[in-house]
Structure 1
Amino acid sequence: MTTHPPHLAGAGSALPGEPVDNAALSAALGVSAEWIELFIGTRTRHFARDLVTGEVRRSLADLCAQAAEEAMANGGVEAADIEFLVLGTATPDHLMPTTASQVADLLGLDQLPTYQLQSGCAGAVQALDLARHLIGSGEFGCGLVIGGDVCTKHLDLRRDLSAAAPSDLVNGVLFGDGAGAAVLTAEPHGAAVALLRTLNRCTGLGRSPGQIIDWFGLADRDEDRQALTEDYKAIEESVPVMAAEILWELLDTLGWAADDVDFLLPPQLSGRMTRQIAEHLALPSAHEISCVALTGNNGNALPFLQIEQLLPKMGSGQKALAVAVESSKWIKAGFALEKR
């Protein structure tokens, strides 16, 4: 087992179609554009499905493969260098075959281990955690880590949301689609940013889930229950508190002071919630790296979209902390980076 940390060599992303602004979303769903702007604070998002025709234009596998190709190009590695692939998602294209194996096929990868982690906003960090341990085992020198979600599969374009309660409206306007990826290497390569630590812990013992995404089989797909439900009030109350706990646990584990952090990657729930959480975390000397106001909440893509923004900005000796909270069963997640 190696004792030095793995490194992020490069990152990439894929967002389907042109940005959809609040006016277009308002026209499609019958929701006030002003309400979206004030309550959600997200200005644009990208959809893999056409809002007018309902046609699916891009699959999750398509988006993940595009993001992975960009990450490899930015990291200066070839497909032949990739020795494993890990994908985190809450919205796979199919139950079988896994989207991870489909992405490998699209990339021309064969005879290598592929892993798919079924999780929400923490899935990207779980994928990084697994990849860090695979590299640390000494068996692998280079791998692809991918996160992505296509949330519009849960957006019913036939439904008029104009009279829906705010808690129900959230599910229609919060999410977007997309994918992100990073190349992890055993030795410094490309961007050469060290992945020092990952945090991944389920903390929801005895607590009701904050978010549920259902799977419908042939026997129950015609039931009236929604496929996607969430307790947005519980999320608003809990996520800022959990984010602060994650931040201070990482700082304590690393032996860093708050002033040591040059970049903060806060949880990307919505434009409004992200602003509030960043203020709550109170790291005034850290530069915030956020994207959700322009991309929508595209789940497991978000940490990789943040990493893609971050890598070109980091100078020698600079440090970054990322915080992610998954409300499904209240999972704490995060990671620490340093440019050596």
Structure 2
Amino acid sequence: MQSPPDRDPAEVYVASVGTALPGDPIDNATLAKALKINAEWIDHFIGTRTRHFARDLGTGTVRWSLADLCAQAGARALGASGVDPADIDFLVLATATPDNLMPATVNHVADQLGLDQVPTYQLQSGCAGAVQAIGLGRTLIAGDGHRAGLVIGGDVCSKHLDLNRDLADAAPSDLVNFVLFGDGAGAAVLTAEPAAEAVALRRVLNRFTGLGREPGQVIDWFGLADRYEDRQAVKEDYKAIEEFVPVMAVEILWEMLGDLDWSPEDLGYLLPPQLSGRMTRRIHEELDVPGAVEVSCVADTGNNGNALPFLQLEQLLGQMSSGEKALAVAVESSKWIKAGFALEKI
């Protein structure tokens, strides 16, 4: 049975966004040389030009933790919001790649930002996690009476990749994990009253739809009992992702438009799912909203998971004018989640 639409809470606003990408961009030629693979294959199969890594490609040294990147993004969002950090009532972090199982990375981020005596939440999720963080932040403000909160999404995917592995005989479904992903973080300040950018958060969609379906992606966290098993940490069913994500994206678009009573012509901007340069182009074509400006970043940032919607938002806020509307679509293929959010500039 179809779930009823969520009730619209009181108004909640996006006041500002901040992002953090580690180090200089790594182009395909540099990545291909480090991994001893074909750069043309990356260009053709992935369609992503550059990405950023928290690890040094040559030495494998981790230069930034997830907490470091999230704190940088959070500080930038706070600085742009005009909201005093003392007025932040909660902190939410979404990630698929926490620094530790415990303590939760969100609490290291709070510590770096100097936030104390506030509720903290960490959501374990992939691409839809950032939308879940925004949705939870919206609920905390609209339903619990908080005045302002900081929501963050970030991932450091490169720590799961063995840069010394011989990839000569790797299958494309395995090799894709070495070239698809990047690292980064993004954050937004949500408020109960218009502030700074004054963009109203009109709707958030977050729905699990994977009942009875095999995961499209699995990331293992090895413990002492299984760390020596001969299996890869990251597995991707790329063919299933290519088949189902575009279809799900179109379904999300039309469901959200219907719930909002908006038409495609109302949209000034469209933020499509950010899988890879090639897949994002394909999905954008299938969404077929020619009057809306596409806001995409993955071809330059790599797929850095929960950072992506915030990177898109940062681009969007620099373009929106009063009265303009935008809709973001996100799909998580790990266990098939539909997600998205709608914005209107006040």
- TM class, shorter-length: over 0.9
Letter of the structure 1 residue corresponding to residue 251 of structure 2: E
Deviation of 1:73 after TM superposition, in Å, equals 1.2
Aligned partner of 1:255 in structure 2 is: 261
After superposition, give the CA deviation of every residue in 1:23-51 in whole Å (9 maximum; x if it has no partner): 11001111111110111000000000000
Deviation of 1:5 after TM superposition, in Å, equals 1.6
Deviation of 1:263 after TM superposition, in Å, equals 0.3
Identity score, percent:
72
Aligned partner of 1:23 in structure 2 is: 29
Deviation of 1:3 after TM superposition, in Å, equals 4.8
Letter of the structure 1 residue corresponding to residue 34 of structure 2: A
Which residue, 319, 322, 328 being the options, matches 1:313? 319
Letter of the structure 2 residue corresponding to residue 238 of structure 1: F
State the 4+ residue runs in structure 1 displaced beyond 6 angstroms: none
CA contact (8 A) 2:218 2:236 kept: yes
CA contact (8 A) 1:291 1:302 kept: yes
Aligned partner of 2:218 in structure 1 is: 212
Letter of the structure 2 residue corresponding to residue 258 of structure 1: P
Aligned partner of residue 88 in structure 1, secondary structure: strand
Which residue, 82, 85, 89 being the options, matches 1:83? 89
CA contact (8 A) 1:264 1:320 kept: yes
Letter of the structure 1 residue corresponding to residue 20 of structure 2: A
Does residue 118 of structure 1 match 2:139? no
Aligned partner of 1:173 in structure 2 is: 179
Deviation of 1:304 after TM superposition, in Å, equals 0.4
Aligned partner of 2:4 in structure 1 is: none
Q: Which moved more, 1:116-125 or 1:30-39?
A: 30-39
Which residue, 275, 279, 302 being the options, matches 2:281? 275
Which residue, 113, 116, 138 being the options, matches 1:107? 113
1:108-257 counterparts in 2 under 5 A? 108-257=114-263
CA contact (8 A) 2:94 2:124 kept: yes
CA contact (8 A) 1:214 1:227 kept: yes
Query: d(CA) in 2 for partners of 1:296 and 1:76?
Result: 30
TM-score (norm 1): 0.98
CA contact (8 A) 2:219 2:233 kept: yes
Q: Which moved more, 1:72-81 or 1:151-160?
A: 72-81
Deviation of 1:78 after TM superposition, in Å, equals 2.3
Query: d(CA) in 2 for partners of 1:2 and 1:213?
Result: 34
Query: d(CA) in 1 for partners of 2:255 and 2:9?
Result: 22
CA contact (8 A) 1:65 1:103 kept: yes
CA contact (8 A) 1:100 1:116 kept: yes
Which residue, 68, 72, 86 being the options, matches 1:66? 72
Query: d(CA) in 2 for partners of 1:2 and 1:274?
Result: 30
Does residue 36 of structure 1 match 2:42? yes
Q: Which runs of 5+ in 1 are unaligned?
A: none
Q: Give the CA RMSD over aligned residues.
A: 1.1
CA contact (8 A) 2:173 2:235 kept: no
Aligned partner of residue 115 in structure 1, secondary structure: strand
CA contact (8 A) 1:240 1:277 kept: yes
Aligned partner of 2:292 in structure 1 is: 286
Aligned partner of residue 320 in structure 1, secondary structure: strand
Equivalent pairs counted in the alignment come to 340
Q: Which runs of 5+ in 2 are unaligned?
A: 1-6
Letter of the structure 2 residue corresponding to residue 260 of structure 1: D
Query: d(CA) in 1 for partners of 2:13 and 2:145?
Result: 15
Query: d(CA) in 2 for partners of 1:26 and 1:213?
Result: 23
Query: d(CA) in 1 for partners of 2:32 and 2:318?
Result: 35
TM-score (norm 2): 0.97
Deviation of 1:2 after TM superposition, in Å, equals 9.7
Aligned partner of residue 14 in structure 2, secondary structure: strand
Deviation of 1:238 after TM superposition, in Å, equals 0.4
Deviation of 1:163 after TM superposition, in Å, equals 2.7
